[in-house]
């Protein structure tokens, strides 16, 4: 991974130095296991481990040898046994019983295990931040949106809860995927032990923190690891989803929230007014990469017979990248969410500018019920509220003209700009008012005829002659009424009463 | 493909009936080629082709035989030779010289060629529609957006031109990819002819509309076809990009354009006010599928030695799906663009509500130039315009309070809603006014100190003491000035003067 | 999915008819839930459900309406309420409270649940078949292969065990992924209930066999389903891995096993001698498609805010295809494995033709130990065995000449063919013999000098002067000795003693 | 890319230092363009370029500034203008007219162009090597294989030709994809020039080696670059295909070719006899990565409106990796092919051990023709040859017994091993002999009855009473006859007569 996105602990864990030290651990664990099983004297183990721990691995020596014999694990063995007196050498690399992957698999398993720890921690961390936001904005109302369109009322806290739960699902699958990491193998060139004593495998793996996977070939089946890569991909895709929501909410000129913008930050070299969503947009790039990477890991399942080495180059490159990207993404988004600029005022303006449509479902339900005595069908109730909604967003005469006749020169465009600039803004009408007053008008965009509309207005006026109905109708547009059940989510998800 | 997205001509081309008829064409072409090369008498060819054309292929018979012998091409041969008298049979299937894929490859090539025709036509069609939009809205000004933020001024026609050019690039690569379709092969089980005369291959392919690909194995190398699938994927991704732009512009409450909404259409069962962007959103689904499909075709390059049959099942399923999806997408988006509801009025409101920021780059440039006598650095010019832009979007006191203290109950939220509803809307200030009047104020979001700001205001006031500068500055915010170079694009792309 | 690969139960489950019946179930469950909560009288529920169950859904009516209003769920509601008397209509579709996906999500969940059942069953079935093979061939020895090269000895039963365990891992993750299917939602347009009583959701979902997922938006988060698609992909990739092993073992002229070949089957239209691996090769095609499909489902995680409809088209197409492919693959491979033609005789010939190399690791270990008194290093032991292995495969003089001078005409090639045909086959020498006799020779492919070789031969002769060593060395090449630990795998995996 | 696979020139081209130098080139080209258009004096340009070329870019200063202002291009500008006297500064970065990507896009284009050069060269190089092999082994006969099964005769030279042509197709598409690289843009924040003079764009791009792409937004459409990534993917997949063929041919105990094995190389730590195909196996890993990478680049087509920055992180990471991988793969495979160990002797043994089946198609054709007087149908000719082929591979009685009764203990397995070791090898019979002598026997694997077989043998004997037929039949099995048309491929592909 390029330095810009690399995460320090991952770089460290996947370094050659660390890998070779883990190889040495595997080798020593096998000797120690034999000591525990009384197959080798403790003295031998103590001597070997003291010598080797006292002689740091010479990475350059090792690399040179690897280039020569084209076998990195054998090069490592040659590097190590240099330091052992002849009589101790046979004890190293399991008395000639081990195959390279008996050493490499436990090391690889430890690299994965070590790298997963910060991922899991950072998922929990970002969930904490989201919980904080959910609590802080529990009563901050906003427009929920489906299909990009303003839909019904919700709180911003509730939106945070849905993000929280998305990550919760991801965390569940991460934990499932992690279960595979408890296995490893020291079972020889074909996984049927050759002359390795299965007891030695079990004991050595125990020392290294693993259980044997029975049924490995020369290597562990890659089916064990693909779900981990997939779980990272899911995490980054959830972060991308959240990031997209933030980008959508950050659109000028009236953002409802924005990723943090540093005081000295520059948005654009050309346009000084810009506050660009660079962190959240980057999440989409990260998701693209993590999708590619996790897909590539999935392909590692295929190999030939008791193994070929197709998977090795991929794992050298893609596993660390998977970890770098998921961690970088988690940390970036934690920063974004922790510093998120939230504008409850603009959220309110959005609610107001939806002109009552946020309660259109309730209005329809109200009408369906109250309309029964007037033989108003449920279908008609739908069409009435739809018409009211189209009426409140009916363009002005000037606007309608412009729609039919776009300008034919830049000068004309400029005149229009100047004219609109000084024109009075239309007073927003709400569907509540239109319905209360029975003031529906036909719309060129809908099918209802003049006669339909007249009849519907008549019914509306009759309904609202009743004071109780009017009061009830007003209530439909109030936040406490509309959000009366949201508390259930806080209760179930965060345990709040 | 499920009926919902299937395209009639693709279903027809990839039907069993059509495939078997194309196989028969391949078989007959080989006989005819031998006639042309004087290896067989014309009489034989005439008889065979009359008999076979007179005896429609019995699909059920063929399917039954295929299940029995598990070889679809051999089953076809058995179905066909039933109708031939014994003496004519040896002439069929190339006197035992052909291998299945000598028959299937030309048929497959013809299916691809036939299916590409409507794709190419539909790309041209959608480009025509986009050209129409570009001409119609050549002077309809709107905010260009980068990072989702309002940036500078452009026309909607120019945005259509960029879409047009994106598809132009795709069309170029589609035409490149199509070039592979001119090749096919009738060169035997290994591609080294066995007892097939290469002259027969050349002649038979000529009859079928192909040239020989020298160097095939039993099959054509799949490297030839992968770019076609990729080119479809690109087309759908470009459509998705356009669709995303439409969705972004369609967001309530002030859409600048929207996909067409039928009069009888229902947006939502629950919310009658909704106009959902279902066609444009579907494009994202189509892109997801086309990415998957094109990736799958790419994998068909790998096979073993002179061929194995890994690619066959994939090509039966994925090629027709690739065609269905690209055609469905093109046709859907052509409908969307042809019926696009465009709101130049709302585009104007967006320009106005950007409060002059659309000219921030020019303002900075102006300032950098005019500031020289006052030792104003280019960096300071940047910071001045940035500050002006932050000033015009400075929240009101009420808003600021709310940002610091979000409501703590739904009742409180409701009160705020009622209060904001009746509050007067703030009068929008433009960066032009702030700068002209030297009325910059410090912003909590930027680093500039009180002293900086004071100095900058002083410089601004001095600059605008000059009438010429003031006039020049006004011009900076006018459409004819800002868009003076856009005509170049119309000239180069559409040939307009 | 095209009929060739479609699986009957999946076609049925994902049919329009079944989907609409499940929608009706969702609708009825909501009414029944309200009965259980005393919000509606049982009488209403009984009447509605009797009427609707008595009036089969008219699919054509529904499709026509869908095309008109472009909303499939609303079209369904209109189709259904046709049959209800006016007074019962308000009870349907949850008294206007439900949004489409309150009906669709439980239906979708049931389609997934129903479709998973045969997948799980077929995985178990194929594992049973593999267990049978593992038991049957528990003592059938063969060459294990790594990097395509003959490695050490194993039994064919043990190879079956590794396949069994690979699928066991897949089954584990399938079961994990399935856990998500216990959730669904009936929580309104934004997932915050609107006027739906959360108790109704809980009760209705219980009737339908689900628990509520708290924190849904309008739809369930797609994070819940991606792992299921991934788990299918893994299964097919494991099958592809097994299929590849079978193809590798089936290579002529000496296959060790082969997929079943029907008596009437034809291998090739051109080449009657062929037994083509068409079923196992098809697995690679299936894996390509399942990779594409599972990747596409992963992309469904992204949507906008409380949902947009990007995922819908994908799910209509890709989910059934995922099921068709995984089931078709499982069933095909079950057939292949159940009918697998196994040739223990050819397995034996392979062991013999490996010329003792199958015990090279043990030989090296033996030498490292016995060589100590002769100051033979472990590295030298390695190089001795390596040299012996190269010696036994040393080409004959004729072969060596030919390698240096490939034929320069086809006539010459033909002469060589005839000459080799009648030449006596070389008697195979084993590394055991070479080492026992101290008959190493230098190899042009290795670095060892004449002097080295001489010295090594000397050491070998000295070692084998000892009768005990000779006997011990002989044992190294025997199956009971080499496979003494394989039983452990049977014990741990199948519980055999 | 990790050092193990990194290619020096790619590392250099994509280094920060080179990128920043290219940015400087873009900046200078804009000034020079203005000089050429008489908008700026040459003196200004000379001074600025001398100063900047004399002051090496301080990478550390730049990185620090980037972290502070979070904008790498602005940080670069600040680093550069430090060195310019105040009066020259306005000329830099296009007098405030440029946007970042007016500088970055030409730089990015140059990085791509520079990186493509070695790729194209290496493709040509490997094609040269393949041409050499095709010429060298033009008359070296071998078995062609379809479905992994021995099929008909071909030369190894011809197999090399098919590989050569596969790469030729890839090269064609690489050249097509490269055509996009001739375009770039300097057209401002939205691509509609703002205050940039389109003449300046054209002139500056000319200096930098580009033409303007009319219709860019702030950035070039990514449709232009995706095909390049795809073409790399195709190349690596073709290499993987070739590598797979080499691995398949390298299988012990009788390899027909093998990748080169260094004298000091170690195949395995455990098994000294191994010659592992590590380079060719690695190609499969490379293909997995390149598939992932090219797919990821494809996704960069999507952005929002006039651009967002989703693509940037991807391009920083994935483009250099794409180049590293394709180059590493090409170079590795060039080494493999250049050093390929080819064994014409073993190829001959394969032909012989196919027992005449290599001419089964010709034999069937022969029989269909000669059988007419005996009323032998074409179908029967097929079944006769098929039966002969099954007869020659009929297992011995011992083998058949073993197939029915696999061993039930390791001791039994060992006894079998010893017994087979000393058993005489069966004398190979050819289908030629069986047919010549009319010695077909029924096979348990085919349907033909005793009566059929008897009748067929009778016909065969009658046919071969004719000396001419016998001679003709013998010829069918000869290389010069069977390969008489292969020369056509050499002629068409390499121009050889």
Give the C-alpha distances (Å, rounded to integers) separating D5 from A313, A439, B322: 9, 73, 35
> Which member of A124, A195, A268, A478 is catalytic?
A268
Report the alpha-carbon distance of residue D477 to residue D325 in Å, rounded.
45
Closest to C266 (Cα-Cα) out of A488, D385, A202, D105: D385
Most C CBs within 10 Å, among D138, D271, D339, to test the C interface: D271
Query: B494: burial class by Cβ within 10 Å (0-12, 13-18, 19+)?
Result: middle
Most D CBs within 10 Å, among B230, B284, B375, to test the D interface: B230
Average pLDDT, chain C: 95
Joined together, the tokens standing for residue A4 give: 């810009």
Q: Does A268 qualify as catalytic in the annotation?
A: yes
Neighbours of chain C (3+ CB pairs under 8 A): A, B, D
Please judge whether D342 and C406 are an interchain contact, meaning their C-beta atoms are less than 8 angstroms apart: yes
pLDDT of residue A444: 85
Bridge-partner residues for C145, per DSSP?
C150
Closest to C14 (Cα-Cα) out of C6, C5, C4, C24: C6
Q: Residue D9's CB: how many other CB atoms inside 10 A?
A: 14
Using a CB-CB cut-off of 8 Å, the residues of chain B touching A140 are 406-407, 413
Phi-psi region of B70 (alpha: psi -120 to 50; beta: other; left: phi over 0): left
Please judge whether C299 and B288 are an interchain contact, meaning their C-beta atoms are less than 8 angstroms apart: yes
Residue B354's pLDDT band (boundaries 50, 70, 90)? Answer: very high
Q: Of residues A444 and B457, which shows the higher confidence score?
A: B457
Give the C-alpha distances (Å, rounded to integers) separating B136 from A237, B133, B139, B159: 39, 5, 8, 12
pLDDT of residue C270: 75
pLDDT of residue D497: 79
Closest to B393 (Cα-Cα) out of B150, B146, B154: B150
Please judge whether C215 and A170 are an interchain contact, meaning their C-beta atoms are less than 8 angstroms apart: no
Asked if C209 and C172 count as a contact pair (C-beta separation under 8 A), the reply is no
**B427: pLDDT strictly greater than 80:** no
pLDDT of residue A97: 87
Bridge-partner residues for B305, per DSSP?
none
In this prediction, residues C22-40 reach a mean pLDDT of 97
Residue C274's pLDDT band (boundaries 50, 70, 90)? Answer: confident
To the nearest whole Å, the CA of A381 is away from the closest chain B CA by: 9
Give the C-alpha distances (Å, rounded to integers) separating A152 from C218, C219, D158, D445: 11, 15, 69, 70
**CA quadruple A327, A330, A332, A335: dihedral positive or negative?**
negative
pLDDT of residue A143: 98
Instruction: Please identify which residue in the block is written with the tokens 């606007």.
Output: A399
Report the alpha-carbon distance of residue B262 to residue B253 in Å, rounded.
19
Least confident of A372-376, B211-215, C425-429: C425-429
**CA quadruple B66, B68, B74, B75: dihedral positive or negative?**
negative
Please name the residues between 27 and 46 in chain D that touch chain B, using a CB distance below 8 Å. none
**D301 CB within 8 Å of a chain C CB:** no
To the nearest whole Å, the CA of B130 is away from the closest chain D CA by: 13
- Percent of chain C predicted with pLDDT > 90: 87
pLDDT of residue A166: 98
**B215 CB within 8 Å of a chain D CB:** yes
**C134: pLDDT strictly greater than 80:** yes
Please judge whether B273 and A411 are an interchain contact, meaning their C-beta atoms are less than 8 angstroms apart: no
Report the alpha-carbon distance of residue D308 to residue D215 in Å, rounded.
17
**A50 CB within 8 Å of a chain D CB:** no
Q: Number of residue pairs across B and D with CB atoms under 8 Å?
A: 300
pLDDT of residue D69: 86
Please judge whether B299 and C317 are an interchain contact, meaning their C-beta atoms are less than 8 angstroms apart: no
Residue-wise pLDDT for A26-67, tens only, equals: 999 999 999 999 999 999 999 999 999 999 999 999 999 999
Residue B86's pLDDT band (boundaries 50, 70, 90)? Answer: confident
Please name the residues between 224 and 253 in chain A that touch chain B, using a CB distance below 8 Å. 247-248, 250-253
For residue D302, the 8-state DSSP code is -
Report the alpha-carbon distance of residue A461 to residue A445 in Å, rounded.
24
**B429 CB within 8 Å of a chain A CB:** no
pLDDT of residue A270: 75
Residue-wise pLDDT for C166-214, tens only, equals: 999 999 999 999 999 999 999 999 999 998 999 999 999 999 999 999 9
Instruction: Please write down the HEC assignment for all residues of chain C.
Output: CCCCCCCHHHHHHCCHHHHHHHHHHHHHHHHHHHHHCCCCCHHHHHHHHHHHHHCCCCHHHHHHHHHHHCCHHHHHHHHHHCCCCCCCHHHCCHHHCCCHHHHHHHHHHHHHHHHHHHHHHHHHHHHHHHHHHHHHCCCCEEEEEECCEEEEEEEHHHHHHHHHHHHHHHHHHHHHHHHHHHEECCCCCCCCCCCCCHHHHHHHHHHHCCEECCCCCCCCCHHHCHHHHHHHHHHHHHHHHHHHHHHHHCCCCCCCEECCCCCCCCCCCCCCCCCCCHHHHHHHHHHHHHHHHHHHHHHHHCCCCCCCCHHHHHHHHHHHHHHHHHHHHHHHHHHHHHCCEECHHHHHHHHHHCCCHHHHHHHHHHHHHHCHHHCCCHHHHHHHHHHHHHHHCCCCHHHHHHHHCCCCCHHHHHHHHHHHHHCCCCCCCCHHHHHHHCCCCCCCCCCCCHHHHHHHHHHHHHHCCCHHHHHHHHHHCCHHHHCCCCHHHHHHHHCCC
Report the alpha-carbon distance of residue B380 to residue C84 in Å, rounded.
73
pLDDT of residue C97: 87
Q: Are strands C141-146 and C257-258 parallel, antiparallel or unpaired?
A: unpaired
Q: Of residues D373 and A424, which shows the higher confidence score?
A: D373
Asked if B10 and B327 count as a contact pair (C-beta separation under 8 A), the reply is yes
Least confident of A362-366, B406-410, C306-310, C419-423: C419-423
Joined together, the tokens standing for residue A483 give: 């959000």
List the single residue in B155, B218, B381 with the smallest CB-CB distance to D146. Answer: B218
pLDDT of residue A368: 87
In this prediction, residues C309-325 reach a mean pLDDT of 97
Q: Does A269 qualify as catalytic in the annotation?
A: no
Please state the length of chain B: 497
Using a CB-CB cut-off of 8 Å, the residues of chain C touching A214 are 165, 488-489, 492-493
**D200 CB within 8 Å of a chain B CB:** no
Closest to C363 (Cα-Cα) out of C491, C470, C217: C470
For residue B490, the 8-state DSSP code is I
Residue D425's pLDDT band (boundaries 50, 70, 90)? Answer: confident
To the nearest whole Å, the CA of B263 is away from the closest chain C CA by: 9
Report the alpha-carbon distance of residue B19 to residue B16 in Å, rounded.
5
Give the C-alpha distances (Å, rounded to integers) separating B99 from B190, B225, B362, C268: 9, 21, 70, 7
Residue-wise pLDDT for B51-74, tens only, equals: 999 999 999 999 999 998 888 999
Q: Per-10-residue mean pLDDT for chain A, 497 residues long?
A: 96 98 97 97 97 96 92 93 90 85 98 98 98 98 96 97 98 97 97 95 98 98 98 98 98 95 73 86 98 97 97 97 98 98 96 94 91 88 92 91 95 94 82 95 90 96 95 96 97 94
pLDDT of residue D424: 79
pLDDT of residue B423: 81
Residue D368's pLDDT band (boundaries 50, 70, 90)? Answer: confident
ω into residue D318 within 30 of 0, thus cis?
no
Please name the residues between 445 and 484 in chain A that touch chain B, using a CB distance below 8 Å. 445-447, 478-480, 483
Report the alpha-carbon distance of residue A333 to residue A329 in Å, rounded.
6
H/E segment holding residue A142: strand A141-146
pLDDT of residue D430: 94
Closest to C320 (Cα-Cα) out of C110, C109, C10: C10
**A488 CB within 8 Å of a chain B CB:** no
Using a CB-CB cut-off of 8 Å, the residues of chain D touching A318 are 289, 292
ω into residue C412 within 30 of 0, thus cis?
no
H/E segment holding residue D380: helix D378-392
Please judge whether B314 and C288 are an interchain contact, meaning their C-beta atoms are less than 8 angstroms apart: yes
pLDDT of residue B9: 98
Q: Of residues D445 and B191, which shows the higher confidence score?
A: B191
In this prediction, residues B222-227 reach a mean pLDDT of 98
Residue C272's pLDDT band (boundaries 50, 70, 90)? Answer: confident
Report the alpha-carbon distance of residue A288 to residue D317 in Å, rounded.
11
To the nearest whole Å, the CA of C407 is away from the closest chain D CA by: 6
Please judge whether D192 and B154 are an interchain contact, meaning their C-beta atoms are less than 8 angstroms apart: yes
> Which member of D195, D268, D377, D478 is catalytic?
D268
Instruction: Please identify which residue in the block is written with the tokens 């080799």.
Output: C420
Q: Number of residue pairs across B and C with CB atoms under 8 Å?
A: 165
Using a CB-CB cut-off of 8 Å, the residues of chain B touching A440 are none
Residue D262's pLDDT band (boundaries 50, 70, 90)? Answer: confident
- Percent of chain D predicted with pLDDT > 70: 99
Neighbours of chain D (3+ CB pairs under 8 A): A, B, C
Crossing angle between the packed helical segments A278-298 and A310-338, to the nearest 10 degrees: 160
Report the alpha-carbon distance of residue C366 to residue C432 in Å, rounded.
12
Bridge-partner residues for C184, per DSSP?
C212
Residue-wise pLDDT for B17-52, tens only, equals: 999 999 999 999 999 999 999 999 999 999 999 999
pLDDT of residue B95: 72
pLDDT of residue C422: 86
**D90: pLDDT strictly greater than 90:** no
**C284 CB within 8 Å of a chain D CB:** no
Please judge whether B305 and D146 are an interchain contact, meaning their C-beta atoms are less than 8 angstroms apart: yes
SS3 A365: helix
Neighbours of chain B (3+ CB pairs under 8 A): A, C, D
pLDDT of residue D357: 94
Q: Of residues C269 and D28, which shows the higher confidence score?
A: D28
Please name the residues between 115 and 144 in chain B that touch chain D, using a CB distance below 8 Å. 144
**B291: pLDDT strictly greater than 90:** yes
Q: Of residues D253 and D270, which shows the higher confidence score?
A: D253
Most B CBs within 10 Å, among C308, C316, C319, C323, to test the B interface: C308
Q: Which residues of D53-74 are buried (b: 16+ CB within 10 A; e: fewer)?
A: eeeebeeeebbebbeeebbbbb
**D410 CB within 8 Å of a chain A CB:** no
Chain B's closest residue to C97, CA to CA, is: B270
In this prediction, residues D343-359 reach a mean pLDDT of 95
To the nearest whole Å, the CA of A48 is away from the closest chain C CA by: 17
Task: Report the Cα C104 to chain-centroid distance in Å.
Answer: 31
Report the alpha-carbon distance of residue C437 to residue C440 in Å, rounded.
8
Please judge whether D352 and C386 are an interchain contact, meaning their C-beta atoms are less than 8 angstroms apart: no
To the nearest whole Å, the CA of D23 is away from the closest chain C CA by: 35
ω into residue B253 within 30 of 0, thus cis?
yes
Helix-, strand-, coil-residue percentages of chain A, each rounded to 5: 65, 5, 30
Neighbours of chain A (3+ CB pairs under 8 A): B, C, D
Closest to D182 (Cα-Cα) out of D110, D122, D123: D110
Query: B83: burial class by Cβ within 10 Å (0-12, 13-18, 19+)?
Result: middle
Please judge whether C237 and A168 are an interchain contact, meaning their C-beta atoms are less than 8 angstroms apart: no
Average pLDDT, chain B: 95
Asked if D34 and D40 count as a contact pair (C-beta separation under 8 A), the reply is yes
Instruction: Name the phi and psi angles at C14, rounded to 5.
Output: -95, 15
Joined together, the tokens standing for residue B119 give: 């794709």
Report the alpha-carbon distance of residue B315 to residue D212 in Å, rounded.
39
pLDDT of residue C368: 87
Residue B220's pLDDT band (boundaries 50, 70, 90)? Answer: very high
**B190 CB within 8 Å of a chain D CB:** yes
Report the alpha-carbon distance of residue B437 to residue B414 in Å, rounded.
39
Using a CB-CB cut-off of 8 Å, the residues of chain B touching D214 are 165, 488-489, 492-493
Please judge whether C365 and A188 are an interchain contact, meaning their C-beta atoms are less than 8 angstroms apart: no
Asked if D323 and D290 count as a contact pair (C-beta separation under 8 A), the reply is no
Most C CBs within 10 Å, among D272, D302, D423, D427, to test the C interface: D272
Average pLDDT, chain D: 95
**A427 CB within 8 Å of a chain B CB:** no
pLDDT of residue C488: 97
Closest to D64 (Cα-Cα) out of D89, D82, D43, D46: D82
Q: Under 8 Å CB-to-CB from B435, ≥6 apart: which residues?
A: B363, B367, B384, B385, B388, B460, B464, B473
Report the alpha-carbon distance of residue A241 to residue C226 in Å, rounded.
15
pLDDT of residue C332: 98
Using a CB-CB cut-off of 8 Å, the residues of chain B touching A251 are 145, 148-149, 248, 251
């Amino acid at each position: 991974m390029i330095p810009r996105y690399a995460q320090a602990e991952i770089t460290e864990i996947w370094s050659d130095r660390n890998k070779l030290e883990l190889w040495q651990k595997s080798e020593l664990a096998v000797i120690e296991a034999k000591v525990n099983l009384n197959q080798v004297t403790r003295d031998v183990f103590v001597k070997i481990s003291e010598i080797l721990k006292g002689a740091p691995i010479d990475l350059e020596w090792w690399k040179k040898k690897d280039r020569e014999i084209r076998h990195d694990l054998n090069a490592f063995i040659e590097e190590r046994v240099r330091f052992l007196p002849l009589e101790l050498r046979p004890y190293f690399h399991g008395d000639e019983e081990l195959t390279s992957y008996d050493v490499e698999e436990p090391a690889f398993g430890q690299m994965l295990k070590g790298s997963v720890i910060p991922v899991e921690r950072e998922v929990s961390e970002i969930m904490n931040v989201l919980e904080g936001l959910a609590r802080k904005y529990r009563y901050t109302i906003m427009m929920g949106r489906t299909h990009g369109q303003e839909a019904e009322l919700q709180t911003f806290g509730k939106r945070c809860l849905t993000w929280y739960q998305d990550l919760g699902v991801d965390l569940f699958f991460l934990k499932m995927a992690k279960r595979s990491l408890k296995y490893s193998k020291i079972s020889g060139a074909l996984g049927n032990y050759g002359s390795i004593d299965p007891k030695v495998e079990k004991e050595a793996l125990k020392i290294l923190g693993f259980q044997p996977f029975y049924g490995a070939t020369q290597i562990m089946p890659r089916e064990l690891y693909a779900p981990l890569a997939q779980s990272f991909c899911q995490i980054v895709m959830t972060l991308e989803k959240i990031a997209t929501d933030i980008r959508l909410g950050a659109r000028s000129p009236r953002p409802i929230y924005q990723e943090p913008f540093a005081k000295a930050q520059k948005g654009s070299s050309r346009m000084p007014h810009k506050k660009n969503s660079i962190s959240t947009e980057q999440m989409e790039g990260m998701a693209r990469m993590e999708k590619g990477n996790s897909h590539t890991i999935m392909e590692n399942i295929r190999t030939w017979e008791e193994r070929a080495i197709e998977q090795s180059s991929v794992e050298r490159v893609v596993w660390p990248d998977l970890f770098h990207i998921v961690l970088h993404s988690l940390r970036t988004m934690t920063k974004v969410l922790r510093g998120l600029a939230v504008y409850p005022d603009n959220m309110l303006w959005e609610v107001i500018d939806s002109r009552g449509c946020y309660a259109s479902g309730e209005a329809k339900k109200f009408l369906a019920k109250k309309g029964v005595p007037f033989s108003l069908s449920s279908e008609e109730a739908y069409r009435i509220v739809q018409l009211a909604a189209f009426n409140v967003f009916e363009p002005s005469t000037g606007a309608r003209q412009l729609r039919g006749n776009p300008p034919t020169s830049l000068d004309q465009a400029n005149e229009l700009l100047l004219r609109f600039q000084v024109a009075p803004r239309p007073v927003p009408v709400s569907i509540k008012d239109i319905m209360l007053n029975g003031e529906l008008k036909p719309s060129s965009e809908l099918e209802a005829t003049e006669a339909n509309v007249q009849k519907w207005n008549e019914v509306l006026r009759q309904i609202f002659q009743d004071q109780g109905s009017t009061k009830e109708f007003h209530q439909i547009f109030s936040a406490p009424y509309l959000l009366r059940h949201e508390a259930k989510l806080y209760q179930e998800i965060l345990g709040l009463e």
